[in-house]
Structures are given as C-alpha cells and as structure tokens.
A and B are shown apart, each in its own frame.
Chain A
C-alpha cells in the first residue's frame, strides 16, 4: 500500500448524457475524465487563474503582438494507459488498438479538430466548439511540436488549452459514429486509470503507475493507490458513512446542520467552507411568447427572491449570483450586484422590486407562465412548488411548474421546447466561458434564441483584450448590459459547501470546479495518524 484508496461521496457514478469527454455536459462525468485524460495545459489554481503545463513541456511560446500563434512543445515519453496490464485483466479491444503507445502532437491536433468538425453527426453535442472555432490552423511541426494559429487574437486561448474539458484523446478510441461513449474507451494519459463504473453505485479509479508526473516525476505521484467515488446524495447516508470512515471526506447535500454539529463534536476534523462553481439559473426563450417581451423577463427577474432560494435550498449557505460566479475575479463587484434590482434584500427594496415586477407583468398582459424544473438534485426539485407560490404572490398571475429529468431539460433546450427552465449548471473558470457560449449569436449554449449585435460586439471585444484588468472591465460591461437589457439567463445563486475531512486525509483540497480531479495526485491517506484507526479497509 502506498497512499491508500481514498473514498469520497459524489455523483461520478451517474451518467446523465454520455461518457464522451468532448460531448458530455455533466460536470461529475468530466470530473472523472479529468483524472484519466490529460490536457495541454492545466489549472494549478482555478480561482486565481494560475495555469501550468500538463502535457506541454513548458508554457507555449506566444508569437505576435497581439498574439496569433502558439507553439506547443509536448513532453516526450507520455504514454497511453494500459488498464489491462495494471489491473490484471485481459486488455480490451480499445487497449489493444492503442497498445500503450506514446501520445504525440497528432493526438492533440486530432482532439482539437474533432471539436471543430461541423460535418460530424455529433456536431450539436460539441458544446465547447466555440473554443476551437477560433483556431485557423494546426500544424504538426514534429512528433512533439505543434504550431497553432488563431483567426484573430484571442485573449483566453491559453485558458482554452487548460480548461476543465480540454482533454486529449486518441483517434483509435473514437468509433465510426464519432463517439467514444464506452467505458472501454476511457483510456488517457492522466494520473488515474478508470477501473470500473458501476452506474448509480460507485466509480473506481486506480493509480496509473506510468503517469508522467508533470515536472516532478521523481515524486512518483499520485501517492494514492486509487480513489472511489461513492454515489451518495442523502445527508443521512453521507453522515453515517463519514462517521464510520467509509468515506474520508464529506459535504452536505440539503442539510448543512449535521456538518456543523460534526465539526463541533470533532474539532480535529479538517474543515473548509468554500463556494461551489455550480450555480442555479433560469433560462428563458427570448424569441417566442411570453418571454420575447422584455417586460415579462424583467418581471420574473424582479419577482424572484434569490435570498429565499438560498434559504430554502441550502438553508442559508449560499451566495447570490450574477452573470459570473462571485468565486472568480471576473464577477461584478458584490457591492454593486447587491444594490441592483432583483438582488436587493432590504425589506423596502424588495417591496419596490416586487411592485415593479407586478407593474411590468400587468403591462405585458399577465401572460401564463410555466416553469420547468430539473429533478436533480432533489433539493432543487422540492423547491419548485414554493417558487411557483412565490411568483404567483409577486406577479398575481397564473404560474405552473413541472419537474422533469435533467436530460429532458437539455433536450428541451436543444429543441427549443422549454420556454423557462430552472436548473443547475456547472460553473466555469474564465470570463469567456460564462458569457460567450451563452449569449453570442453563434454561441453553442445560446438556447435563448438571442441575437443581439451590440452584445456580440461586446463579447468579441473581451476576447480581444489581453490586459487582464481591462478585460475584466469589459466583462463588467457585458454583465451590466445583460442585467439591464437582456435578462435571458436569470442567474440565481450558488451554494457554499461545508467540507469536512478526517485528519488522516493528507493533501485535502476541496474541489470547487468540476473537472479538477487531477488535484488528487497530491493526496494520500496517513495510516500512521491516530484518526486512521477504525477506518474499514477495502476499496
């Protein structure tokens, strides 16, 4: 045993859409991918925006002022995983096809071009194509070197290479239908091998002994022998599992009080309170009634009591959310956001907002409103009737709610059949991801039917601005514009998670963003620590 097998509660064993790393939208699945697949670059600190090389030997050479070309030099000797050999199983057809070969510049080129291919039958499912469409050409200079040229200067281009989904896959793993939606195809060059996925039970990962180890291979990371994500979303189940040390780390789902109590009972526990990038939003179709009328959208925006959502869904442990998460530095300053109509919490100000909401709604002819809620997580679905009541009270009109699966929500967005959805979204690191794909006329997540040339030019301007402070200022302009004149995506709130971990869990780092499971390379279980006593063995 090296660092042991970490056990943590999570949603990684749920597959809502697809296992394909380039086509999934479901955060927990690409969290699993982030342990298995590598990227050209990676985020060392997503909150501060610190990027470091992953497959790249060093940070890309940037050519031009403003930059238009990037020369990427890959580490030599990076090999695809051999799950059969490591796990003592007969190798799958996919593994045989790869044969543990070396990752080369051709793989990077293929992975990028795959997501730029508009002729693919899976083209509508490349949600992150907006990042790759900026590429003009990719030239393979030699086995380890690429020269990437963008169509125009793109400030977040290095972020694209490091983003939580920018995985490099092997061509051999993709089938004729341009999919790799198979467990056997989950073979990458990352620090962990995906051992087994037992849907709605657990997802198991083991250490990849051949992992290249970034800049310090001598550390022989990952220290862990593996980790297991156990599908659990009931507070009682998670609390019991944590107390019995069947999981080494825990966080609340609906009731934070057990975490608070646990911390009081066990002061030695590692405790971290940190916001989650995932947030709750409502999406409105702006190209058809009733939400093509800005007054109706604004009425819903003003009538929605965001503080009530925080109180009802997360028992007060949450933060109001503008168009960009308050976790990242691109967000509108909190003092500004909290002074805006719809975000104000003072009693008199709320009354003003509600009165204005009703006035706008009545001026728009009091249309009927139907809200479609996602059924996951259960805490959000159970809020649906209360939201209905809240809108009914505030607007004085007919409001219906229905609860459907997350898949139905995604499909409804794609087909334009859902006028008003209320669901979670994953949360992003860079300003561009929060705004461009959602609100640009050609954005891959623009399910609002939004076509606004002025907004498009603002979104393009922030892409062209390389100075971080000026880009942030442009980002604020976009956010103000969205709140003043668009209101297509009503951003509600995000939870603040209360984490606890046993002291024997070394290198504990809460995962704020999906797609950052590679942070686990620095984790290990200290079997010599007194708190380790009584921890049941087994994966």
Chain B
C-alpha cells in the first residue's frame, strides 16, 4: 500500500494496458441513475454547470480568428446567447424617451432593468459566457501546464525537481489577487491576458497534486518494468504514469473552475476599468452595489449567479472526486 500522504490521498491505478483487461462497466444510463440517486448534490452541481454552458452558447457566426474572450472563446465568433433576448449594452427608454432605469421585472424584462436602462437578465446571460469561458480558459491552461510541470518534476526528481519546486514556491508566495491586479494594471485591458495570468497563479497548485501522485506511481512495478523493457522517458510518462494522474487532475479542474469564476468577478468588481467593459457578473455587482438598498435586484442577480456557479462547481468537483477515488467509490 503506498504512503497516503505521498500520493495526496489518491491510490495509483495501473494503466489499462498493464492489467489483464478492462472490467465490465455498469453501463452509462445505470451509472448516471446511480449518480443521481447517491450524489444528488453533485448531480445538481453538474446540472447547473451544464445549464451555464447552455446559457453561454450562441449561434456560431462565420467570423474566425485567434481565440479571444469573451465572444470568440473557441476561435469563431459566437452570436447572441440563445437565452438572451437583448445585447448586453442594449438600453431601453420609457414613454417619455428617457432611459428606462430600474424597471421592475416584467414580461419584457424578466429581471428588470439596471441604472442605465439595460436588461438585467440579458447581462446576466452574457456575463455567464464571459465567466464560464474565462474560467475554462484559465483552468485548461493551468491544468495542462501544471500537469506537465508536476509530471516532469516528480518523474525526473533530482535537480530538476528541486529547481521546479523552488520556482513554484516562489510563485505561490505572491497573493493571487495581487498578481492579477498587477497584471491587469500593467497591460491593456484583456481577458485573454487575465486568463493567462490566472493560469500562472493556479499552476503551482495543480502541479503539486500531480507531483504527489507521480512520486508514488513512478515506483510501481509496471513502471519499472516498462523502463526495463526499454520504453523511453516520454513514453513511460505519457503511457504509464499520466493515466494515474487524470482522476485528481479532473477534480482539481472542476473545483478550480469555481475559484476562477470568483477571481474574474473579483477583478471586475475591484476595478472594472482594468478589464474589458463587457457584461460581467463582477461589474454588475460593482455597479449595482451603489443602489443595493433602493434597487437590490441587480446585486441579487449578479451575486446569486456568482454564488450559484461557485457552489455548483464545488459540488460537482466533490462528486467527481468521490466517483474517481477508488477508496470512496460507491457506484
């Protein structure tokens, strides 16, 4: 039995080709059914995350380019989200021609309007795209980078490990929010840059989890056997070590999404001028705060969205960890 502390609480699982053959699964529908019954909160988290994804999507438009946030997260322009009836900056006027500010919820404006006569629901949905894809971008970068660094560091050990870990210690010694504020202050307002900065800040946490798992797995007999049979370092790492790392990495990824959503909201809230002024939950919160006593619906909507998203990602992450951890597996 490997030392639990060294593995970060995760028991290494041999790669599929090292076993005699895959165990027969219960079937996807049955597994989903069990998941729903036994992990209802996790299922709720996954459902909310999927709902967010659905809310953020819009029809693809034939305009391509380098991926960018918030409207070209996948390399092509996305149109108005399916669930938004208006643009994020569309403003409405009342009968006298003045801005229709602070209108109550109605059939036309499901969550009312804000201080600039804009539809709160529309901004919430547009903000979902920004928050979600920002979080996905940052976490994908952090996870890929952290996994590569942690894998190499623990596999090679020695001076490579020592150097990489001290670098990671250095990175972790800076408060994340401070680093992000510094980056957005020194650069042009850009969510792409901010996502990259967040990835750098989150990378040490991911690599530590990966490293702890790899430290145990690299001593497993099947890894030693692969090396003895002449497998290269790269093949050994990718084929025999990496599969064991995927479960904790997925858990870190899903829980990290919540933190990334919070980070984007925090930066937008603290200094909206340092990020692009598109609809954002953090900006909505910052703007709505000035009127929170007279017109609380704006902060309630934005705050609720932030809290709901973070809770959903955390619940989903917890459930994922339970499902993927063999010792906690109950499915």
Contact = CB atoms under 8 A, between A and B. Distances in A.
Interface string B313-328: 0000000000000000
Interface in A374-422: 375-376, 378, 381-386, 388-390, 401-403
Contacts of B89: 385-386, 388-389
Given A236-B289, A385-B88, A312 B115 contact: yes
A96 interface: no
A527 interface: no
Interface in B263-282: 272-274, 277-278
B189 interface: yes
A128 to B, nearest CB: 29
Contacts of B222: none
Given A257-B294, A386-B91, A381 B118 contact: no
A315 interface: yes
Nearest to B87: A389
A389 B287 CA distance: 18
A311 B98 contact: yes
A181 interface: no
Contact of B290 (A255, A316, A390, A403): A255
Given A235-B290, A378-B273, A403-B277, A383 B116 contact: yes
Interface string A286-318: 000000000000000000000110011001100
A236 B290 contact: yes
A401 B189 CA distance: 11
B140 interface: no
Contact of B97 (A255, A261, A347, A384): A347
Contacts of B188: 402
Contacts of A258: 293
Contacts of A402: 188-189
Contacts of A307: 98
B283 interface: yes
Nearest to B114: A312
B192 interface: no
Give the interface SS of chain B, mostly helix, strand, loop or mixed. Answer: loop
B290 A254 contact: yes
A345 interface: yes
Question: Of A253, A261, A312, A375, which is in contact with the most chain B CB atoms at under 10 Å from its CB?
Answer: A312
B285 to A, nearest CB: 12
A453 B272 CA distance: 43
Interface string B83-106: 000011111000001110100000
B291 A257 contact: yes
A101 interface: no
B97 A385 contact: no
Contacts of A255: 115, 290-291
B50 to A, nearest CB: 29
A350 B189 contact: no
Nearest to B295: A257
Contact of B90 (A254, A376, A381, A389): A389
B125 to A, nearest CB: 16
B272 A382 contact: yes
B117 interface: yes
A315 B295 CA distance: 13
B287 A382 contact: yes
A137 to B, nearest CB: 48
Contact of B99 (A254, A257, A311, A384): A311
Interface in A327-364: 345-347, 350
Contacts of A389: 87, 89-91
Contact of A350 (B97, B118, B272): B97
Interface in B235-293: 272-274, 277-278, 283, 286-287, 289-291, 293
B273 A345 contact: no
Contact of A384 (B88, B277, B291, B294): B277
B189 to A, nearest CB: 6
A312 B91 CA distance: 10
A315 B101 contact: yes
A403 B277 CA distance: 8
Question: Of A253, A381, A382, A402, which is in contact with the most chain B CB atoms at under 10 Å from its CB?
Answer: A382
A378 B87 contact: no
A60 B74 CA distance: 72
Contacts of A382: 272-273, 277, 283, 287
B273 A308 contact: no
Contacts of B293: 258
Contacts of B101: 311, 315
B273 A375 contact: yes
Nearest to A392: B89
Contacts of B274: 375
A390 B99 CA distance: 12
A150 to B, nearest CB: 44
Given A257-B294, A345-B97, A347-B97, A315 B115 contact: yes
A308 B99 contact: yes
Contacts of B278: 385
Nearest to B287: A382
A254 B294 CA distance: 14
A114 B286 CA distance: 45
Contacts of A254: 290
A171 B236 CA distance: 76
Contacts of B277: 381-382, 384-385, 401, 403
Nearest to B99: A311
Question: Of B97, B98, B118, B189, which is in contact with the most chain A CB atoms at under 10 Å from its CB?
Answer: B97
A11 B73 CA distance: 39
Nearest to A380: B273
A311 B272 CA distance: 20
Nearest to A375: B273
Nearest to A389: B89
Interface string A230-258: 00000110000000000000000111011
B123 to A, nearest CB: 10
Interface of B: 87-91, 97-99, 101, 115-118, 188-189, 272-274, 277-278, 283, 286-287, 289-291, 293-294
In the A-B complex, the 10 residue pairs with the smallest Cβ-Cβ separation, listed nearest first, are A375-B273, A389-B89, A255-B290, A311-B99, A381-B273, A312-B116, A385-B89, A385-B277, A347-B97, A254-B290
Given A315-B115, A389-B89, 12 more contacts: A308-B99, A312-B116, A312-B117, A316-B98, A350-B97, A378-B272, A381-B277, A382-B277, A385-B277, A390-B91, A401-B277, A402-B188
9 contacts: A261-B294, A311-B117, A312-B117, A316-B98, A350-B97, A375-B273, A385-B89, A402-B189, A403-B273
